[in-house]
Structure 1
């Protein structure tokens, strides 16, 4: 459960200046607390979001509420968690190059890609003794960014903010690729949305998209805004125009105190599916 009052009490008592945690948990606290508390009065210096993707829509909402920078941290359990973190410039995540080496490869051929080209991140640990890993495939899609950075670092390289995992993408309609980050940016920008889940089915020759959206506010107004945001996506419009998608369904749900970390945003239940 998310006890917002308890979270605020502890932060005030401890005079917290930085908070770090799951993106979805911090965002839930933000949405539920911003109308009841003056979050900016706490004087936070930074929010560090970890273990889950940070969409620009969610970043904007949290920075507006708390009045500080919201930074993304990326890592892998196999590499001891954090391997990179954003600076205040927010144009990529700086690599801990003392402990890790990262490469970007074409996921299909394994060929190393030049800086700026998107591919799969692979990691090599440089300081592990018990279980070193060499060219470990992450399945995460990003790119390498060469220094310098506007923050002042002239030697430390960066990766672009990971767009998601290779196996998280799927196809609809005419073969349009969809992935969680696509809907994150569209749906989470609607003020009051806490979370969503998309269930894909195929009852006929058309793909059927059913969105369940957890929302804090006027449900009718929220549903209209969510549906509008979804319909603005080219991937959705293309499928509808070619009669390969059923009309999109959006189901709104009231906010609860329950919190499910790392909930799968897209569930594909189609039996006839060409990946």
Structure 2
């Protein structure tokens, strides 16, 4: 472990392989995966046959683009076990999405899949700087959601002491952090910010009275401005990791301490960036939709899964010594993009404007509605100091400032409503900040 610490916590040798060796591993595992799903998953056999592709046609990584995409509706239409490549007897655990818009997406794990997942989450925890003497408090909800179980098993593998607190019961969270001397916080970024506010209400300064030194945040995207807010409140290193239940859960990629993109576990996943409208594969550095192919999963392999997440790939080697391709911070989702009066608007663009302003807090709501035939964008934004609302001239000046800044970024106008501190809803899981009333 001491040697690993010296190397910026590089957990496995696969993280520093020569690029050519990584590509050889990817091709070998890709060919094996395609052969297996063709033989074991009727959905993929039919999809590949319709595209006129056989497993023997895949002889290079470039051939991957011949394969049709898999989308979330494919998972729903094959609910619950139609995309599994193993028998139910071989599945030792089930996870899935929340199913808030209907049936959940169901994913399964063999014993080997769980071992792989544990290794990958140990890898991303180590990237962030987790050690065997850390005390890790998990404030993700346990259940079908993969976040809590995924990080739990990886942190235990590293040797950290894990506190499986789950989400909610925030005052008790703070009490345990203080009493146990928690050094790692695992949660969504929005819940971490809420926890800091509750700690302050309890008379506890998160920065000076608690010992949290690293946050391993996932489950939702957040801007660099939001990250700075977290780091200032907690005086911690706020790192981000990426995953989704369909792919494996957390462990697909994660940030090292240099925070310059999330290192992708390329020995287990092949990442592509496509134009979300045309499906064309884009070169590194060009922004588009992330598509991922799993190449080691046994129970639930996926070919060219469209994640809907907007990002780009970075191939330059990181200062930490890892040779893995990185993905930039997710900059929105192709399916949460709002089209307002013909203008494409991502919630992350709005957040980047709001969180960077010192007069207002990091909590906001985005409301889109119709006024006659026109779209109207409206924002509810908390001020930091409630007395500010009593001064009409300052109130109007701040509204104008926010409106101008948003217009510069978005190209459209917005109605701004300033509200009292601590009046907007807080979230223990993924934050839901957009209300579309059209």
What is the TM-score of this pair, normalised by structure 2? 0.55
Contact 1:190-1:225 at 8 Å conserved across structures = no
Question: CA–CA distance in 2 between the matches of 1:255 and 1:8?
Answer: 18
The counterpart of 2:401, out of the listed 198, 220, 228, is 228
Note if 1:111 corresponds to 2:111: no
Contact 2:379-2:417 at 8 Å conserved across structures = yes
Question: CA–CA distance in 2 between the matches of 1:233 and 1:91?
Answer: 26
**Please, which runs of 5 or more residues in structure 1 have no aligned partner?**
241-246, 271-275
Superposition pairs for residues 45-124 of structure 1, below 5 Å?
A: 45-82=213-250, 83-124=252-293
**Greater share of strand:** 1
Larger Rg: 2
Note if 1:250 corresponds to 2:399: no
Note if 1:125 corresponds to 2:259: no
Quote the residue 1:8 is aligned against: 174
For 2:216, what is the secondary structure of its paired residue?
A: strand
Distance change (3 Å), C-alpha of 1:230 and 1:75: farther
Contact 2:399-2:416 at 8 Å conserved across structures = no
Shift in Å, 1:9: 1.3
**Please, which runs of 5 or more residues in structure 2 have no aligned partner?**
1-166
Is 28-37 or 57-66 further displaced after alignment?
A: 28-37
For 2:253, what is the secondary structure of its paired residue?
A: strand
For 2:299, what is the secondary structure of its paired residue?
A: coil
Note if 1:143 corresponds to 2:312: yes
Quote the residue 2:197 is aligned against: 31
- Equivalences, count: 262
Question: CA–CA distance in 2 between the matches of 1:53 and 1:177?
Answer: 18
Question: CA–CA distance in 2 between the matches of 1:116 and 1:87?
Answer: 19
Distance change (3 Å), C-alpha of 1:195 and 1:258: closer
Question: CA–CA distance in 2 between the matches of 1:10 and 1:144?
Answer: 39
Distance change (3 Å), C-alpha of 1:92 and 1:256: same
Q: After superposition, what is the alpha-carbon deviation per residue over 1:42-68, rounded to whole angstroms, capped at 9, x for unaligned?
A: 332211111011211211111112222
What is the TM-score of this pair, normalised by structure 1? 0.84
CA RMSD of aligned residues (A): 2.7
**Greater share of helix:** 2
For 1:53, what is the secondary structure of its paired residue?
A: coil
Shift in Å, 1:235: 5.4
The counterpart of 1:188, out of the listed 348, 355, 359, is 355
